[in-house]
A and B are shown apart, each in its own frame.
Chain A
Amino acid sequence: MAIHTLLFASLLIFSLIPSSREGNKGRLFSVLQNSLDVTGKPVQDGVVLEAGKDMVTIKWKLKSSGKVDADATFKTIQVKLCYAPISQVDRPWRKTHNELFKDKTCPHEIVSKPYDKTPQSLDWTVDLDIPTGTYFVRAYGIDGDGQEVAYGQSSDEGRTKNLFSVQAISGGHVSLDIASILFSVFSVVSLLVFFVKEKKKAKLEQRE
């Protein structure tokens, strides 16, 4: 019976794992062309932005200094919010990898639009679920097959300049805190009530 359950469990696990990776498993960031000019400026410089409230003005366009038809294959532009190295320290789930499918630098998507040759601008309010950290903006040029072919970012290559900071929402509410206190008090008080009842019962037994 144990063997059957084991085999069944194994089968279940295997069927849930994505069976094949896409053929472009080895696509590297380093081969992408840096042909996009991207800027991401908070509404007020030097101030920590509040998630859900403050805005970042993001602009992107094709670099004028680049090759003439660098954007020939672009179908979509995907703009993402990326962690600066300082926010990646001691956090392996945000690690930068050269292989694009492994890379975890830019997990938050800001917008994904069909490619327009004209310079684009967007006033983006920082999402409610953006964690506290230091960020920059990166845009990927994506071709018809969904592959990244080019990129541009608001920071330098070392990702140390033109960064902005975000403070996340706490997620807590006064009502949650009150509920915690109420339930906790209820647990402890009912324990005391039970203890007292037990003592009384034991005393009754003694008298019998």
Chain B
Amino acid sequence: MEVEGKGGEAGTTTTATRRFALPVDAENKSTTFRLFSVAKPHMRAFHLSWFQFFCCFVSTFAAPPLLPIIRENLNLTATDIGNAGIASVSGSVFARIVMGTACDLFGPRLASAALTLSTAPAVYFTAGIKSPIGFIMVRFFAGFSLATFVSTQFWMSSMFSGPVVGSANGIAAGWGNLGGGATQLIMPIVFSLIRRMGATKFTAWRIAFFIPGLFQTLSAFAVLLFGQDLPDGDYWAMHKSGEREKDDVGKVISNGISNYRGWITALAYGYCFGVELTIDNIIAEYFFDRFHLNLQTAGIIAASFGLANFFARPGGGIFSDLMARRFGMRGRLWAWWIVQTLGGVLCAFLGQIHSLTWSIVVMLIFSVFVQAACGLTFGVVPFISRRSLGVISGMTGAGGNVGAVLTQLIFFKGSTYSRETGITLMGIMSIACSLPICFIYFPQWGGMFCGPSSKKVTEEDYYLAEWSSKEKAKNLHLASQKFAETSVSERGRASTHPQT
């Protein structure tokens, strides 16, 4: 592993000239992505952030693989298990929205570590639950930690420049989501180790939960001790020194929610990431019941869905960046819509297959498409707003969870639909909810079916429109100005209007 220790002086002093290990743009964001580096501050932020998110995913989905034991210990019914599944993803709907604003105000480092440390108790207390209500509650509160997704995206968007932000966002999120698959392998192994040390079944699963809890706590410490909010330093330090002006919370929020593009990305994300979360909760049971596999086999299949995240979601982000190089933002939108729609088609198909072998094959291909669509979503999100980046990220992330809650409520609760019908219907709903992507339009770059505005709107016009003239007079808009300059790359290689 190549470790670059040079560059990046202690981040708290503000100097005009600063040397970084990686090449940077006008905002000091890195313009390249070096996976095997832990150089301060860019790559270090990357590794801290994906690992913390990974630990949160492991904790949130630690219960499903051990359900066969837990359901007997707590006398759970299928309804209890379904409710707990919904609870596990609904907590973070609210948390993700709040996290967006928290990042805008406090910086991603403090916001994410605060969330991770305050939800760790829910994981520790899982060891002591005695009833179905207790089970639902711990899954609900532990699930809040999934909001660290928003801080991951925010942090990457603050550290990495336009041409590589899709890749950075995609890999960080993908490797975090990996936790949902890894936990299906980790928890059963931890459980059997503890059993071998002499604990009874009903005690061993309880002890097992301390492992994800500890990892969650330690990852938060790492973020606090070794991380840095921005290439130039930390939020609080920079606020006080005047280098970063504090923005008006109300304005930031209203600017974000009034941008229609954020609502479209929220809906679309609900039907790629939401589908992924739903599958994480139901797929082991699906294979177990429909094909009469034993628990270990069903668990391995369930894990493989989530493990595809290792390359599938990053692949989506990288693909988004590749398309942008040639075709600009229009390329990003087309790629996203096509991949997500194909994911929906494969999902609909999956429910119709009667053979075990083909179900696995289609599920694996489907997992690649749906996770790539998630990566492609966050290739577009950083460009929707600069001032309210956190709010847009939060809305989109929350939309993902809302999709999961809605889908589980409509198609996977009780026995209205058989599991296979539910999966098919989920695929069809996915296709429908991906259509609004066609309506995303940037006046400076165009949309899927329209070119850029004939009024020759520039990136500067778009991003500075988020600030009033009074605010501009106070020079609050300078970060947006720098961003506008670097985002010119979203025009693609074949520019449709002349360089200004």
- Residue numbers of A with Cβ under 8 A of B are 1-2, 5-6, 9-10, 13-14, 16-18, 89-93, 101-102, 128-129, 131-133, 168-173, 176-177, 179-181, 183-184, 186-188, 190-191, 194-195, 198-199, 201-203, 205-206, 208
- Inter-chain contacts of A172 with B (CB < 8 A): 127-128, 130, 203, 206
Q: Does B12 contact A (CB under 8 A)?
A: yes
Q: Which of B118-126, B155-163, B343-351, B445-453 contacts A (4 or more CB under 8 A)?
A: B118-126
Q: Does B275 contact A (CB under 8 A)?
A: no
Interface residues in B351-380 (C-beta closer than 8 Å to A): 356-357, 360-361, 364-365, 368
Q: How many residues of B contact A (CB 8 A)?
A: 61
Q: Which 10 A-B pairs have the closest CB atoms?
A: A171-B202, A184-B121, A131-B72, A90-B77, A206-B240, A202-B236, A191-B117, A180-B124, A187-B120, A129-B201
- Inter-chain contacts of A181 with B (CB < 8 A): 124
Q: Does B338 contact A (CB under 8 A)?
A: no
Contact between A176 and B127, CB atoms less than 8 A apart:
yes
Known: A176-B127, A183-B217. 9 other contacts (CB 8 A): A10-B360, A16-B297, A16-B300, A102-B292, A171-B203, A180-B128, A187-B124, A190-B221, A201-B237
Q: Does B464 contact A (CB under 8 A)?
A: no
Contact between B236 and A198, CB atoms less than 8 A apart:
yes
Q: Does B473 contact A (CB under 8 A)?
A: no
Q: A2-B311, A201-B12 are in contact. Are A195 and B110 (CB under 8 A)?
A: yes
Contact between A17 and B311, CB atoms less than 8 A apart:
no
In the bound complex, how far is the Cα of B278 from the Cα of A134, in angstroms?
33
In the bound complex, how far is the Cα of B71 from the Cα of A93, in angstroms?
10
A-B contact list, 16 entries, CB within 8 Å: A1-B311, A16-B300, A17-B356, A90-B77, A128-B201, A129-B202, A131-B73, A168-B72, A170-B202, A172-B127, A176-B128, A179-B124, A183-B124, A190-B117, A191-B114, A202-B239
In the bound complex, how far is the Cα of B79 from the Cα of A16, in angstroms?
31
Chain B residue nearest to A171 (CB atoms) is B202
Chain A residue nearest to B293 (CB atoms) is A17
Q: Which of B33-41, B207-215, B247-255, B259-267 contacts A (4 or more CB under 8 A)?
A: B207-215
Q: Does B289 contact A (CB under 8 A)?
A: yes
Contact between B297 and A202, CB atoms less than 8 A apart:
no
Interface residues in B228-276 (C-beta closer than 8 Å to A): 234, 236-237, 239-241
Min distance, Cβ B222 to any Cβ of chain A, angstroms: 12
Q: Does B78 contact A (CB under 8 A)?
A: yes
Q: Is the interface of A mostly helix, strand, loop or mixed?
A: helix
Contact between A183 and B213, CB atoms less than 8 A apart:
yes
Contact between B110 and A198, CB atoms less than 8 A apart:
yes
- Inter-chain contacts of A92 with B (CB < 8 A): 78, 289
Q: A131-B73, A168-B202, A171-B203 are in contact. Are A180 and B241 (CB under 8 A)?
A: no
Q: Does B434 contact A (CB under 8 A)?
A: no
Chain A residue nearest to B110 (CB atoms) is A198
Interface residues in B159-193 (C-beta closer than 8 Å to A): none
Contact between A6 and B368, CB atoms less than 8 A apart:
yes
In the bound complex, how far is the Cα of B213 from the Cα of A132, in angstroms?
28
Q: Does B301 contact A (CB under 8 A)?
A: yes
- Residue numbers of B with Cβ under 8 A of A are 12-13, 68, 71-73, 75, 77-79, 110, 113-114, 117-118, 120-121, 124-125, 127-128, 130, 200-203, 205-207, 210, 213-214, 217, 220-221, 224, 234, 236-237, 239-241, 289, 292-293, 297, 300-301, 304, 307-308, 311-312, 315, 356-357, 360-361, 364-365, 368
- Inter-chain contacts of B73 with A (CB < 8 A): 131, 168, 170-171
Chain B residue nearest to A206 (CB atoms) is B240
Task: For B237, give its contact among A6, A13, A191, A205 (CB under 8 Å).
Answer: A205
In the bound complex, how far is the Cα of B310 from the Cα of A1, in angstroms?
12
Residue among A93, A128, A169 with the highest chain B CB neighbour number at 10 A: A93
In the bound complex, how far is the Cα of B13 from the Cα of A208, in angstroms?
9
- Inter-chain contacts of B361 with A (CB < 8 A): 10
Contact between A90 and B124, CB atoms less than 8 A apart:
no
Min distance, Cβ A178 to any Cβ of chain B, angstroms: 10
- Inter-chain contacts of A177 with B (CB < 8 A): 127-128
In the bound complex, how far is the Cα of B3 from the Cα of A185, in angstroms?
35
- Inter-chain contacts of A208 with B (CB < 8 A): 13, 241
In the bound complex, how far is the Cα of B315 from the Cα of A159, in angstroms?
55
Chain A residue nearest to B223 (CB atoms) is A194
- Inter-chain contacts of A202 with B (CB < 8 A): 236-237, 239-240
In the bound complex, how far is the Cα of B285 from the Cα of A140, in angstroms?
29
Contact between B200 and A133, CB atoms less than 8 A apart:
no
Chain B residue nearest to A185 (CB atoms) is B121
Contact between B120 and A89, CB atoms less than 8 A apart:
no
In the bound complex, how far is the Cα of B237 from the Cα of A180, in angstroms?
35
- Inter-chain contacts of B128 with A (CB < 8 A): 172, 176-177, 180
Min distance, Cβ B413 to any Cβ of chain A, angstroms: 12
